[in-house]
Amino acid sequence: MNKTQFSKFVEYLLKNNNVIAPQYNVEAKLIIAELKKTSDFYMGTELPLDSWKWFLLPPKQKMFDYKGEKMTEALPSVKKQIFLGVSILDMQALTLLNQIFEQDPYYQEIKKNTIIIGTSHMPKDNFSEYFAKFEENKLEHLQFDIFLAVQNGGYKIYTGSEDGQRFLDNFKYKDYKHVEYAGPIREEGLDLQMVSVMDGMQNFHDQKIWDDLGKRCISCGKCTIACPTCFCFRMFDKSHLEQGSGERNRCWDSCFYNEFTQVAGVAPSAPKHRLMATTAQKIYFWYEHHFVRTPGTYSLPGCVECGRCTRACPADIDIFQTQRDILAARNKKKEK
Amino acid sequence: MINDYQTHNCKILKVESESSDSKIFTLSLPYKDFSFEAGQYVMASLPGFGEAPFSINSYFNEKKFIQLTIRKVGVLTSEINKKKKGDIIGIRGPYGNSFPIGIAKGKNVLIVAGGIAIEPVRPIILDAVNNPQKYKKVFIFYGCRDESAMLYVKEYPSWKKACDLNVALDNPKSKKYIKGPVTILFDVVNIPTDSIAYVCGPPIMYKFVLAKMLEKGFRPENIFISLERHMDCAQGVCQHCAIGTKYVCKDGPVFSYAELKDFKTWLSPI
């Protein structure tokens, strides 16, 4: 598909759909928002500030309405939406979220109304050995509907679902290849880079790395908001003015907040027990989630190396550097 | 799509005051064919006040009702404690794994509990009471603040028929009980170290109890610990209860000490 055809395709998508796409805002920041006109659409190597999770796993979501003792499920009402221009790194993040929330009716309600159009664009400064070079066979482990592989003067088009095929057929575009989703786990097994970092954290623990990070980190939680694979949430009830009615909600949480591990004390007035007391413990927990727990549970990378957390961090903590430090400590201890 | 966050309304059949600030709530079954195993928990909630995990502490072979013992420690528990017979509590579950009691058949059993944490092990005690021949000998080491905080006191006569019950109190008001932490009981009672041990208590208790048990010669794989954590989803998604690669809500709450000691973060992170 050449550039002219592609512009027409974007116009075609915009005509009847709610298209969400990267675009610059008035402050010249690349954001993801509803696309109003084709010319606003940004397609390139820069990654938007926030990730696509905002549209699949909204920061606050109603789960139930209650009246008296009756809890009624409140699924989100979503109109069909198209994610246009999702970087391959973000596709990996979405594939992980799809796994984690496979039993979650709220996530699934939004997901089934979402079309994902990905691209092979990668940020210039990247740390992903696996995605640094795009190869066709990498697509079969990612969930998407349409994929645009960048090539000279345009895009090579792939489809990853019947929905994707239908869109292209209706647009009267035939020159695409279909890739059948083969599950999230690659034939060659776990991501090698991920395995090394996981091994470093689990078997070659270097306390100094975490003590240093603990001193720099200010526990603001911005990284957890920026991260495309941070998804933890808490649930809370909100009463309405009418007595006995209200809603049960969930909202994003952050493991950097003090209340994250809080359990009851011995009495209402007694101090609460918090299982993570220091910043070093919190930041270790965050890294452990991404580099140990997620790969351990889902056999998928818990970090897609997008670097958004580094960009968001006011204390200049660089996730790529931390990984280099973990790997260096591992190599050093291995040599001994 | 099945929504696992949907609560089931349970009617309160009976409320009994237990200790100075706790009550036992006997509830109708959340749904037909509800069954659970010793050590599992449910999420209990009141609309407007949120949800929290509570161990089921009735006998697991009892098919007509379940019981939760709830101490007033916060907003939700204080509100539940105001509830009366006939009121409704929302329940979902049961969740988590259970104490492996099958392996203790014909063997000595040691139950170590601190304060309110005797709840999750009560089903094992009730099992021993109902099947006196099932286990060789059952020892209970129970540590508590003082007499007013002790739970299930009315049941002690029946427990004593099947178990060797030993209580240690931090501040005993009478001379009936030993003064000191629960670890003191290991030096008072001669405990067979081949016992299968089920342990539950506040985080501070584990450090001392486990050190004592290992010193006495207990094997880590024979010690089973039930952990308390902050939980929201109870399905291994929300991350609050995570330790190492495991989720206390889904992979736990019961872990053997052999499993736990490899985690840097189970007792206090790194």
pLDDT at A272: 84
Chain A with chain B: Cβ pairs closer than 8 A = 127
Whether A316 maps to a domain, the answer reads yes
Query: Quick one: A174 and A196 in the same domain?
Result: no
Query: Quick one: B120 and B211 in the same domain?
Result: yes
**What tens digit of pLDDT does each residue of A87-112 get?**
999 999 999 999 999 999 999 999 99
Query: Quick one: B119 and B180 in the same domain?
Result: yes
**What tens digit of pLDDT does each residue of A189-201 get?**
888 888 999 999 9
pLDDT at A266: 77
The contacts of residue A298 (CB under 8 Å, 6+ apart) are: A96, A99, A100, A184
Query: Quick one: B86 and B133 in the same domain?
Result: no
Whether A184 maps to a domain, the answer reads no
Enumerate the residues of chain A whose CB falls inside 8 A of the CB of residue B236.
297
Query: Quick one: B70 and B134 in the same domain?
Result: no
Whether A85 maps to a domain, the answer reads yes
Query: What is Dmax (Cα atoms) for chain B?
Result: 59
The domain boundary, picked from A178, A200, A228, lies at A178
Q: Which phi and psi angles does B169 have, rounded to 5°?
A: -120, 145
pLDDT at B267: 54
Query: Quick one: B33 and B114 in the same domain?
Result: no
Whether B64 maps to a domain, the answer reads yes
Contact A68 B3 (CB under 8 A): no
pLDDT at B20: 81
pLDDT of B96 over the 90 cut? yes
Q: What is the extent of the structural domain holding B116? A: 102-226
**What tens digit of pLDDT does each residue of A48-77 get?**
999 999 999 999 999 999 999 999 999 999
Q: Which two tokens stand for residue B106?
A: 């014909």
| B14 — pLDDT class (breaks 50, 70, 90) | very high
The contacts of residue A262 (CB under 8 Å, 6+ apart) are: A272, A273, A274, B230
pLDDT of A234 over the 80 cut? yes
Question: In this structure, what DSSP letter does residue A293 have?
Answer: I
Query: Quick one: B106 and B91 in the same domain?
Result: no
Whether B243 maps to a domain, the answer reads no
pLDDT of A129 over the 80 cut? no
pLDDT at B270: 40
Query: Quick one: A119 and A21 in the same domain?
Result: yes
Quickly count: other Cβ atoms within 10 Å of residue B270's Cβ. 17
Query: Quick one: B45 and B152 in the same domain?
Result: no
The domain boundary, picked from A148, A178, A208, lies at A178
Query: Quick one: A162 and A269 in the same domain?
Result: no
Q: What is the extent of the structural domain holding A143? A: 3-178
Domain count, chain B: 2
Query: Quick one: B114 and B206 in the same domain?
Result: yes
pLDDT at B245: 86
Q: Which amino acid is at B139?
A: F
Minimum CA–CA partner of B117 in chain A:
A266
Q: Which residue has the higher pLDDT, A334 or A284?
A: A284
Query: Quick one: B35 and B148 in the same domain?
Result: no
Query: Quick one: A151 and A255 in the same domain?
Result: no
pLDDT at A287: 94
Enumerate the residues of chain B whose CB falls inside 8 A of the CB of residue A277.
268
Query: Quick one: A162 and A212 in the same domain?
Result: no
Q: If you average pLDDT over every residue of chain B, what do you get? A: 92
Q: Which of A73, A264, A293 sits opposite B245 (nearest CB)?
A: A293
pLDDT at B94: 96
Whether B242 maps to a domain, the answer reads no
Which of these, A183, A230, A300, lies nearest to A57 by C-alpha position?
A230
CB A177 within 8 A of CB A158: yes
Please tell me the distance in Å from B182's CA to the nearest CA on chain A.
17
Summarize the confidence of residues A289-318 as an average pLDDT. 92
Q: Specify the DSSP element, H or E, that contains A319.
A: helix A319-335
Query: Quick one: B60 and B78 in the same domain?
Result: yes
Query: Quick one: B40 and B152 in the same domain?
Result: no
Query: Quick one: B126 and B77 in the same domain?
Result: no
Query: Quick one: A227 and A166 in the same domain?
Result: no
CB B224 within 8 A of CB B256: yes
- What is the three-class DSSP state of B121? helix
pLDDT at B207: 86
Exposed e or buried b for every residue in B28-55, given b needs 16+ CB within 10 A?
bbbeeebebbbbbbbbbbbbbbbbbbbb
**What tens digit of pLDDT does each residue of B196-229 get?**
999 998 888 888 999 999 999 999 999 999 999 9
Query: Quick one: A13 and A92 in the same domain?
Result: yes
Whether B23 maps to a domain, the answer reads yes
Query: Quick one: A48 and A79 in the same domain?
Result: yes
Cα distance between residue A79 and residue A77, in whole Å: 7
Summarize the confidence of residues B162-171 as an average pLDDT. 92
Q: Which residues pair with B37 in a beta bridge?
A: none
Whether A185 maps to a domain, the answer reads no
| B269 — pLDDT class (breaks 50, 70, 90) | very low
Summarize the confidence of residues A158-168 as an average pLDDT. 94
Query: Quick one: A71 and A118 in the same domain?
Result: yes
- What is the three-class DSSP state of A283? helix
Domain count, chain A: 2
**What tens digit of pLDDT does each residue of A276-296 get?**
888 999 999 999 999 999 998
Contact B270 A268 (CB under 8 A): no
Query: Quick one: A203 and A89 in the same domain?
Result: no
Query: Quick one: A119 and A23 in the same domain?
Result: yes
B-proximal residues of A, 105-144, CB under 8 Å? 105, 108-109
Domain CATH number, residue B81 = 2.40.30.10
| A335 — pLDDT class (breaks 50, 70, 90) | confident
pLDDT at A65: 96
Q: Specify the DSSP element, H or E, that contains A236.
A: strand A233-239
The domain boundary, picked from A124, A154, A178, lies at A178
Q: If you average pLDDT over every residue of chain A, what do you get? A: 92
Whether B262 maps to a domain, the answer reads no
Query: Quick one: A25 and A133 in the same domain?
Result: yes
Domain CATH number, residue B161 = 3.40.50.80
Contact B7 A71 (CB under 8 A): yes
CB B130 within 8 A of CB B115: no
pLDDT of A167 over the 70 cut? yes
Whether B268 maps to a domain, the answer reads no
